[in-house]
Amino acid sequence: CCFFFFSSRRRHTRYISVTGVQTCALPILGGRVRRESLSLVDAQIDPLVPDSIGKTFMGALGLSLEQGLTDVNPSEITVKQSIARRSRAIIALVDSTKWDNISYGTFVPTGQIHTIISDQNAPENMVTEIEKRGIKVIQVPTYFKDNK
């Protein structure tokens, strides 16, 4: 992960890398970077989120019919909830391993999801039920590179 900053004296962009740094807590405007996922977390991000967002693409650790989109880290859940509240269309990006999994907390209930993009191995019974609820499901082919 690289963070960019601008030098007014030299008029060019520089960057610092924080991956591999195990004891650094990097405070930034609006929150902090969570080292494990390299994501921006903490509730202070809320004022930085625009009042209206058209489409939001969101990943999740779990997707269930009962809970919707779930994640494991409370700070990430807070940020995702803030963004989801302002979004007109939430597009979930979840591969087949996330279906029928429930993580620590919900950040988007099932009824607020507009579209789910997943691979072709998503469980057919859940895809059918999700589509019955008016949620569009797009299944894309999965390609694996042969590492041999």
Encode the chain (148 residues) as per-residue pLDDT tens digits: 333 333 333 444 444 455 555 555 555 555 667 677 666 666 555 565 667 788 999 999 999 999 999 999 888 898 889 889 889 999 999 999 999 999 999 999 999 999 999 999 999 999 999 999 999 999 998 876 554 4
Burial class of 27 by CB neighbour count within 10 A (0 to 12, 13 to 18, 19+): exposed
Q: What angle do CA 55, 107, 83 make, to 5 degrees?
A: 40
Rounded to whole angstroms, the Cα distance separating 68 from 65 reads: 6
| Predicted TM-score (pTM) of this structure | 0.71
Q: What are phi and psi of 39, to 5 degrees?
A: -115, 155
Rounded to whole angstroms, the Cα distance separating 86 from 50 reads: 7
Q: Which residue has the tokens 């993580």?
A: 103
